[in-house]
C-alpha cells in the first residue's frame, strides 16, 4: 500500500484545527464569561488562569491558515473569499483582544481598565461568533466553479450559520467555565459552577439543534446518518453525546473539579468527529475533496519533512508548559498584575 500523503496532511491539519478550537476555545471562553463576573479582582484571576498559555494557543490558528495554504490551496483559495466578512471580523477581533489582554495589565486608571476589559470581552465574543459562523457556512456548502469561489459576499449568512455561531459561543463559554472550575477556588469557583450549568445546557441544546438541522441541508448528510446500515456505525456518536451530557450534569451536581472541563472537551471532540463523518472526504462541501484540493506531491513531501521534526517538539513544549502551570490560581498568586 502506498502512503497517502494527502490523507496524512488532512489528519495533521484537522488535528491542528481541533487543538486550536479547544485550546483557544477555553481562553476565548474566559472573555465570553467576563460580562457575568464584574469585580476586578475576579477578572484578574480569570485572566491569570490563561495568561501563560493563551497566545501559544492562538498560534495554532496561524498554523491552520498557513497549513491550508501550503497543503490544500484550493480550499484556502475558495473558503477564504467565501468567508470574507466573518474571517476579517474574526482577525480584527483577535488583534483587538490580544492588545486588550496586555494593556489591561499595563494601565492604571479605572476608566481605561474598564475600556480594555470591554475590548477584551467584546473581542472574545465576536471572534467566537465569527468562527462559529465560518463553520456553519462551510458545512452548508460553498459554491465553487472553475477553481474559484462563485458565490456572493453575503452567502455565508444564513439561519444555520447564525445557529452555529451561537453554538460556538455557548461551547466556548462552557469550556471557559469548566477551566475556571478547575483552576480557581471558593466564590469564583462557585460562580463558575453556575455558569457551567447554563452554558452546558445551551451547548447541549445547540448540539441537538445543529444535528437536527444538518440532514435538511443536504441529502449527503442524510445518507451518512439516517440510512441503514450506516446508522449502526454512526449511532455511537449521538449516544455518547447524551451520556456525556448526563455525566457533565452529575459532575456539576457533585462539585467535581476536573470532570466538567473534560466533559466539555469530550463534547467538542464528539461534535468534531460528527462533523468529520458528515463531511469526509470533502474539504469544501459539497464538491471539493481533500484530493481535489491538495497541492503538488513534491510540495507536500518537502513541507512534511520539517513538520515531522518540528511539530512534536512544539507539542512537547506545550505539554510541558501546561504541566508547569498546573494548580489553582487565586488573587494571592504572585506573578501577574
Partner 1 sequence: MPSLPLPSAVDLARAQFALTVVWHFLFPAFTIGLASFLAVLEGRWLFTGKAVYLDTYRYWLKVFAVAFAMGVVSGLVMSYQFGTNWSVFADRTAPILGPLLGYEVLTAFFLEAGFLGVMLFGLARVGPRLHFAATCLVALGTLTSAFWILSANSWMQTPTGHTMGADGRFAPADWWAIIVNPSFPYRFAHTVTGAYLTTAMIVGAVGALHLLRDGKNPRARAMFSMAMWMAALVAPAQLVIGDMHGANTYAHQPAKVAAMEGHFETRSGASALLFGWPDAEAGETRGALGIPGLASLYLTHDLNGTVRGLNDMPRATWPTNLPLVFWSFRVMVGLGLLMIALGLASLWLRWKGRLYDAAWFHRLAVAMGPSGLIAVTAGWTVTETGRQPFTVYGLLRTADSVSPVAAPAVAASLAAFAVVYLAVFGAGIWYLLHLFNQAPHVHEAGPPTGVPTRTAGITPAPALDAPAHGESRPALQPAE
Site for partner 1, residues 112 to 141, rule: CB under 8 A: none
Of 92, 243, 277, 331, the one binding partner 1 by CB under 8 A: 92
- Per CB under 8 A, the segment of 71-79, 184-192, 214-222, 226-234 that binds partner 1 is 71-79
| Residue 197 found at the interface with partner 1 (CB under 8 A) | no
Residue nearer to partner 1 on the CB measure, 152 or 236: 152
Q: Report which of 293, 276, 14, 306 is spatially closest to residue 142, judged by C-alpha positions.
A: 293
For the CB of residue 147, give the shortest distance to partner 1 in the complex, in Å.
Answer: 6
| Residue 66 found at the interface with partner 1 (CB under 8 A) | yes
- Burial of 133 (C-beta count, 10 Å sphere; 0-12/13-18/19+): buried
Distance CA 198, CA 173 (A): 9
Distance CA 101, CA 81 (A): 29
Vertex 227 angle, CA 224 and 232, to 5° = 80
**Contacting partner 1 within 153-192 (CB under 8 A):** 153
What secondary structure does DSSP assign to 107-170, as a single string?
--SHHHHHHHHHHHHHHHHHHHHHHHHHHHHHHH---EETTEE-S-TTTT-SHHHHHHHHHHHH
Query: Residue 298 to residues 58, 301, 303: CA-CA distances in angstroms?
Result: 29, 5, 9
| Residue 80 found at the interface with partner 1 (CB under 8 A) | yes
For the CB of residue 204, give the shortest distance to partner 1 in the complex, in Å.
Answer: 32
- Per CB under 8 A, the segment of 78-86, 155-163, 193-201, 229-237 that binds partner 1 is 78-86
Residue nearer to partner 1 on the CB measure, 153 or 216: 153
For the CB of residue 53, give the shortest distance to partner 1 in the complex, in Å.
Answer: 6
Residue nearer to partner 1 on the CB measure, 235 or 315: 315
Distance CA 283, CA 219 (A): 17
What sign for the dihedral angle of Cα 306, 309, 314, 319?
Answer: positive
Of 13, 61, 139, 177, the one binding partner 1 by CB under 8 A: 61
Residue nearer to partner 1 on the CB measure, 232 or 305: 305
Q: Can you name the residues that pair with 149 across neighbouring β-strands?
A: 144
For the CB of residue 63, give the shortest distance to partner 1 in the complex, in Å.
Answer: 6
**Contacting partner 1 within 228-287 (CB under 8 A):** none
Distance CA 187, CA 193 (A): 10
For the CB of residue 127, give the shortest distance to partner 1 in the complex, in Å.
Answer: 12
Amino acid at each position: 500500500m502506498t502512503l497517502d500523503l494527502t490523507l496524512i496532511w488532512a489528519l495533521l491539519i484537522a488535528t491542528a484545527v481541533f487543538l486550536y478550537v479547544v485550546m483557544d476555545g477555553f481562553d476565548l471562553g474566559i472573555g465570553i464569561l467576563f460580562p457575568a463576573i464584574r469585580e476586578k479582582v475576579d477578572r484578574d484571576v480569570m485572566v491569570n488562569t490563561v495568561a501563560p498559555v493563551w497566545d501559544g494557543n492562538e498560534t495554532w490558528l496561524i498554523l491552520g491558515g498557513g497549513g491550508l495554504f501550503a497543503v490544500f490551496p484550493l480550499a484556502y483559495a475558495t473558503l477564504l473569499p467565501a468567508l470574507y466578512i466573518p474571517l476579517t471580523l474574526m482577525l480584527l477581533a483577535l488583534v483587538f483582544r490580544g492588545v486588550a489582554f496586555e494593556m489591561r495589565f499595563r494601565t492604571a486608571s479605572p476608566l481605561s481598565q474598564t475600556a480594555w476589559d470591554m475590548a477584551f470581552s467584546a473581542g472574545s465574543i465576536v471572534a467566537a461568533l465569527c468562527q462559529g459562523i465560518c463553520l456553519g457556512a462551510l458545512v452548508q456548502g460553498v459554491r465553487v466553479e472553475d477553481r474559484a469561489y462563485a458565490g456572493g459576499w453575503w452567502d455565508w449568512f444564513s439561519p444555520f450559520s447564525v445557529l452555529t455561531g451561537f453554538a460556538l459561543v455557548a461551547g466556548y463559554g462552557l469550556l471557559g467555565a469548566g477551566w475556571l472550575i478547575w483552576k480557581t477556588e471558593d466564590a469564583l469557583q462557585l460562580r463558575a459552577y453556575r455558569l457551567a450549568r447554563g452554558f452546558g445546557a445551551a451547548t447541549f441544546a445547540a448540539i441537538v439543534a445543529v444535528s437536527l438541522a444538518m440532514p435538511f441541508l443536504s441529502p449527503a448528510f442524510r445518507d451518512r446518518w439516517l440510512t441503514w446500515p450506516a446508522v449502526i456505525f454512526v449511532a455511537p456518536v449521538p449516544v455518547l453525546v447524551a451520556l456525556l451530557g448526563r455525566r457533565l450534569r452529575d459532575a456539576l451536581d457533585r462539585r467535581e473539579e476536573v470532570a466538567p472541563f473534560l466533559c466539555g472537551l469530550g463534547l467538542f471532540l464528539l461534535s468534531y468527529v460528527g462533523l468529520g463523518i458528515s463531511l469526509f472526504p470533502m474539504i469544501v462541501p459539497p464538491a471539493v475533496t481533500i484530493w481535489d484540493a491538495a497541492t503538488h506531491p513534491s510540495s507536500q513531501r518537502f513541507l512534511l519533512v520539517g513538520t515531522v521534526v518540528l511539530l512534536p517538539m512544539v507539542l512537547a513544549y506545550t505539554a510541558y508548559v501546561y504541566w508547569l502551570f498546573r494548580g489553582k490560581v487565586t488573587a494571592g498568586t504572585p506573578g501577574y498584575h
